[in-house]
Amino acid sequence: MSYIEIKKVSGIEYISFVKKFSFMGKNFRIKEHIGKNISTVTVKDYLKKNFNSISIKEFDIRKTFLDKIDIVYNRNLLNYIELKSIEFNNLFEIKDIKDVIFVEFAKEFIFNSNNIEGSKIPAKEVKKIIETGNSRYKNRNEIREVYNSIEAMKYLQSGFKFNLPSIKRLYYILTKDLTMSGGGHYPRGFKTVENVVNNQPTISPEQVENEIVNLLQYYKDNKKTMYPLQLAYDFHLRYENIHPFLDANGRTGRLIMNKILMDRGYFPMIIYAKNSRAYYNAIAKGLQRRTKKTYYQLMLEQAKKTYDDYFKMMKNY
């Protein structure tokens, strides 16, 4: 949060720009003196004029924490994404375009997330549904998937809590009125049969609820002090290993991952469908190996692509 601070001393008004932010359980304050008796300066104007220097100042503070985090082979990638996330927030303060950008993000996220799970609906049809609410695409089930995904993203922003009922509700929204390959509707609640993903066994049905409770507790214990990207990626990895539902685990998992990122002040990210094989392999390696660096690397590369695409879009508005 940025604001203009005015302090009056002996009849003279001293004007400063102030930005407050929190990072890994610590609160910080950047303050820059602007001048005396200035009545026309605004946060937007000052941020626009000093965009790079203010972004770098915040990054330098965060970097003291990043230098102690060993989760990736390419540290420059981690630093790049952290700086870009700061620039996102500063640009959102300068331009009133957040709602517009998030609609554009939703179009791409829903297409890719559903496509990873086997949907064949073209990206242009997803965009048409989001923009107009209509589509003549022949597969009505895949059209319903898009409508459900839109509702799920709305729920993520306005009603989702980190608890069992919210996770079940998110799954219900995503699968409502969908028909499975056998012709029936999706079952309610957690899975009751074993499922195997990418040749890897997942948590057994009788253990699912306890494992989700443990995962939610892990999130609550670490949400204020753990590096946010690592927290989001770890939650996603553990969630996919549990695989709590018969289907829609990837879609619910990616939505919850983005909820963690947004709650911590980061722009959400897309796992691109064309990288789905690398994504599945990275998850498998993250679960099998002592180090998760290959998994983190893939996730950060996907975040970088997302951030580059949408930051460019924001600057052009």
DSSP secondary structure letter of residue 77: H
Same domain, 217 and 200: yes
The domain total for the chain is 2
Same domain, 154 and 38: no
Same domain, 155 and 133: yes
**pLDDT computed for residue 39 by the predictor:** 75
- Sheet order of strands, 2-9 included: 2-9, 12-23, 26-36
Paired residues of 261 in beta bridges = none
Distances in Å between the alpha carbon of 9 and those of 15, 18, 43? 11, 18, 22
Same domain, 214 and 293: yes
**pLDDT computed for residue 47 by the predictor:** 96
Run of H or E including 16: strand 12-23
Reduced to 3 states, what is the DSSP secondary structure of residue 180? Answer: coil
**The tokens of 76 are what?**
């420059």
| Cβ contacts of 55 within 8 Å, gap of 6 or more | 83, 86, 87, 90
Q: For position 165, which CATH number holds?
A: 1.10.3290.10
Distance CA(13)–CA(8), nearest Å, equals 4
Block residue for tokens 């082979």:
73
Distance CA(301)–CA(96), nearest Å, equals 28
Reduced to 3 states, what is the DSSP secondary structure of residue 74? Answer: coil
Category of 37 on φ-ψ map: left (φ > 0), alpha (ψ -120 to 50) or beta: left
* Domain boundary residue, one of 50, 76, 94: 94
Same domain, 69 and 122: no
What is the 3-state composition of the chain as percent helix, strand, coil, each rounded to the nearest 5?
60, 10, 30
Global pTM? Answer: 0.95
The answer to whether the beta carbons of residues 141 and 304 sit under 8 Å apart is no
**The tokens of 197 are what?**
């993903």
Same domain, 264 and 177: yes
Same domain, 28 and 77: yes
Blockwise average pLDDT, block size 10, the chain, 317 residues: 92 94 96 88 94 98 95 93 97 95 96 94 94 90 95 95 97 92 83 84 94 98 96 97 94 98 97 97 91 95 97 90
**The tokens of 305 are what?**
């692509």
Same domain, 85 and 118: no
- Name the amino acid, one letter, at 223: K
* Domain boundary residue, one of 94, 120, 147: 94
Same domain, 172 and 236: yes
Domain that holds residue 192: 98-316
**pLDDT computed for residue 76 by the predictor:** 94
**pLDDT computed for residue 53 by the predictor:** 97
Same domain, 107 and 242: yes
Same domain, 160 and 219: yes
| DSSP secondary structure string for all residues of 137-150 | -S-HHHHHHHHHHH
